[in-house]
Every structure is written in structure tokens, then in C-alpha cells.
Amino acid sequence: MSGLVKNIIHILLVPSLMIISGCDQMRKRTTIDVGYYAIKGETWRDLDRAIRSKGPVVNKRHALAAAQIRLKPDLSFFNSEAGCEITSVRIYVDAKVKLPKWINEKKGNKPLRKSWGRYSAYAAEHEATHVKIAEQHARQAEITLLSLPQMRSCEELKIRYAIVMNEMHKMHQKAQAKFDENERKRIANLTAEAERSQFKTALQ
């Protein structure tokens, strides 16, 4: 399990912790704001019904968990008679994660609580991976931007910067979609295991 996954699961257990606690680089780059929606029930049907009515909306459907991620660039330009260049760049990752909280878990039976524990841990791990993908693309964009050559004017350089960021955005979205697609089999296996204990999921 990666450090990022461990940290977001720690946030799941400690709601007051809003910043990932890890290496210095991660603290500077990434901020995760974790929010919870409450669900109640004594059976999975109760929980499933609550998730499908209260869970975060993803692609027009309520999901078990979700992460809204924003990449926020911070650049410095230097303009001189020789031309304009990028002297520093930092792309921050701002993530808002929504997770479920079963507020009357003690009323569920032992198999249901055990299944729910696996699902809630997976939800945190899944969203943490989405954040990690964003971090990877932020770092790659920084490398690309810093490698841009000096240009005749800052206006020209800013146009090139916009092109790079647009391409990065497309690659980022494609990578996030690919991750979700690759996870479908894992989610299906978890669902099948859960259904054997009469536990169904609304995880998307």
C-alpha cells in the first residue's frame, strides 16, 4: 500500500486531519479536503438506499465516493531584451474527497460490518489513487514547462504555456478514465464477494 493511500485512509479515520501528512514534497504540492455524508441502516439494503440517494454525483449517478481534483499552476516569467522565459513553475493539486460514514454501524451484523470495512477502505484507496495520478501529471507538466525555450515575448510564451496545459489536461483526464476502467474488474470481484453476504454496492 502506497504512502498516499495510507494517508488518505488515515484521514478517513481522523476527520480533523485535512492535509496529507507525508514527505515535504507532498505537503507542499497536495491538499486533500475530506468530507463525509452520513448513511444509516441495519442491513445492506438500507445502506445501499442511502448511498444511492446521498452519495456524491458522478456522471449523473450517486456513487459511493468521489474526488473532485483541481490542478492550480503558479508560474513566474522573466522578460528582458533577450526575450521571455519561465523561471519557476509549481502546479498544486487541490482535491475534495467525499466519503460515506455509517453513523449507526453498531446496529449492523458482523458480516455486514466486515464487508463495509473492506468497501470503505477500498473507496479511500481508490480516491487516493486518483489524487496520485493528478500529482504525476502535475510533475510532468512542470518539467515540460520548464523546458520551454526562451521566446521573443511573454505573450508568445503564454500562448505556448496554454497549449502545454491544455494537452496535459487531456492526458490527465484520459489517465483518470483508464484507471477507472482498469478497476472495474476489481470492483466486480469485491461486489461478488459482498453479494455472497447479501451486500451490494453503489460504487462507480
* pLDDT tens readout for residues 92-139: 999 999 999 999 988 888 888 888 888 889 999 999 999 999 999 999
Q: What is the DSSP letter of 202?
A: -
CA distance linking residue 192 with residue 196, whole number of Å: 6
- What pLDDT sits at residue 195? 63
SS3 per residue for 42-97: CCHHHHHHHHHHHCCEECCEECCCEEEEEEEEEEEEEEECCEEEEEEEEEEEEEEE
pLDDT at 73 (0 to 100)? 93
Cα–Cα distance measured from residue 48 to residue 114, given in angstroms and rounded to the nearest whole number: 16
- State how far the Cα of 170 lies from the Cα of 40, in Å rounded to an integer: 39
Give the contacts of 75 (CB within 8 A, at least 6 positions apart): 86, 88, 89, 90, 145, 161
Q: What's the CA gap between 157 and 78, in Å, rounded? A: 11
pLDDT by residue (tens digit) across 7-41?
433 333 333 222 223 334 444 789 999 999 999 99
Whose CA is closest to 4, among 161, 124, 92, 183?
124
- Grid-cell match 445492506, residue found: 44
pLDDT in tens, 168-195: 999 999 999 999 998 888 877 776 666 6
pTM over 0.75: yes
pLDDT tens-digit readout, 144-169: 999 999 999 999 999 999 999 999 99
For 50-89, the pLDDT digits (tens) are 999 999 998 888 988 999 999 999 999 999 999 999 999 9
Q: What would you report as the CA-atom Rg of the chain, rounded to the nearest whole angstrom?
A: 21
Among 167, 121, 128, CA closest to 144: 167
Return the pLDDT at 89: 94
DSSP class of residue 151 equals B
